[in-house]
Structures are given as C-alpha cells and as structure tokens.
Amino acid sequence: MTSLVVITAGRTGSLLIVDNLRRHFKDVYHTHDPLYIPANHDSICVISKRKNDFLAMISMQIGVKTNEYLTYTNKDVEPFIIEVKDFTNFYLHYNAIYTQIKTEYYKKIIEIYYEDLLDDPQHLFSLFGIDALTDYKLTLKCPYNYEKLVLNLKELKGLYDSYEADKDKFLDEHPVYFNT
C-alpha cells in the first residue's frame, strides 16, 4: 500500500493538504523532520512549501508569539518586534529542512505550494490523478494580520532579501544539522 509523507518547515498549508489527502488515502503521515525515513520505498513524499518563504517565516513567528498554530482565539495581540537573531535562526532552520529531506527513500516526490493550493481547488488532487476539490473548511486560516502585528517587518524583509541575495553562501556559512 502506498503511503504519503507530507514534509514541511511549517506554515505552508500542510495541515490543509494532510486533511484533504486523508479523504482519499488511508496512510498519510505529517512531519517537520527532513530525516524521516518511510517504512517502505512505495511511499510518496509530499513536500509542502510556500512560494513566499518570507511570509511563512513571519507566520511562524506570529505562531510563536500567540502560541496558536491550528486553532485561533482571535485574541488581542499587541504589536511586537521579532528579534533579528530569532528571524535568522528560523530562516536557517526553515531552509535546512528543505535541503536535508531524504528524497532517495521515496518512489515519488511531489512539491505543493501553498499559493497554488489556494488559487486552484483542483490543484492538490490533480497531482495525484484524482478528480476532487480541496475542502478549504477542513483547516482554519490564521486570522492575524502580520502587517499590523510585526513592527519591524520592513527591517526583516531587508534582512531576508540580503540572505536570499547569496543564499547558498549564507547557508553554507551557517549550517544547521538535524539529529538522526
């Protein structure tokens, strides 16, 4: 039996993917561990990403601040500053996850981008040859407005852009390792 392993760095719509795929597949596993090795080589690795990594990183920091990732209380959150070291550490961790996925253990790799998932209700299932629509009501979307909450958003965007300008060099100079 084919199993699906959904791997993500977080804040990429992976739970929406998992909840929808479970409607059609019995064995769907969700992880943030790039070193995860499936039980058999018949597994499909579903890599959940965002085209806009910066917003995923900001969303994660909002999750840390509110301690809300799956269910939301719509509580009042005071605007805050994300420390540069915290943002940098998450940038490194986020990228390390995608560079260290053990793709050789899977029979097939499918990348799904959050933005494509939202733009086209057929997109997710079309990647599996299934005629079905994504049910967006299965997972709640984060209600917090990052533009109003993160006081140093412009600074962080500049930092992100500087890291991205020479990404390979920056990541090589700041390696992140996961325990096996």
Query: What per-residue confidence (pLDDT) applies to 137?
Result: 94
Give per-residue pLDDT as tens, 22-78.
999 999 999 999 999 999 889 999 999 999 999 999 999 999 999 888 889 988 999
pTM summary value: 0.94
pLDDT over 70 at 177, yes or no: yes
Residue 101, SS3 per DSSP = coil
Query: What per-residue confidence (pLDDT) applies to 180?
Result: 64
How far is it, in rounded angstroms, from Cα 121 to Cα 104? 30
Indicate the pLDDT class of residue 1, thresholds 50, 70 and 90: low
| Arithmetic mean of pLDDT, 131-153 | 94
Residue of 60, 44, 54, 58 whose CA lies nearest to 101:
44
Q: What percent of the chain has pLDDT over 70?
A: 99
How far is it, in rounded angstroms, from Cα 113 to Cα 123? 10
Q: What residue segments make up the domains of the chain, in order of their start?
A: 4-173
pLDDT over 90 at 92, yes or no: yes
Give per-residue pLDDT as tens, 146-174.
999 999 999 999 999 999 999 999 999 99
| Arithmetic mean of pLDDT, 64-93 | 93
> Left, alpha or beta for 26 (phi > 0: left; psi -120 to 50: alpha)?
alpha
Query: What per-residue confidence (pLDDT) applies to 141?
Result: 85
Query: What per-residue confidence (pLDDT) applies to 140?
Result: 85
Q: Are 29 and 117 in contact (CB under 8 A)?
A: no
**Residues sharing a CB contact under 8 Å with residue 130, sequence separation 6 or more, in sequence order:** 24
Cα 8 from chain centre: 4
**Strand-pair category, 44-49 with 108-113:** parallel
| Arithmetic mean of pLDDT, 101-130 | 97
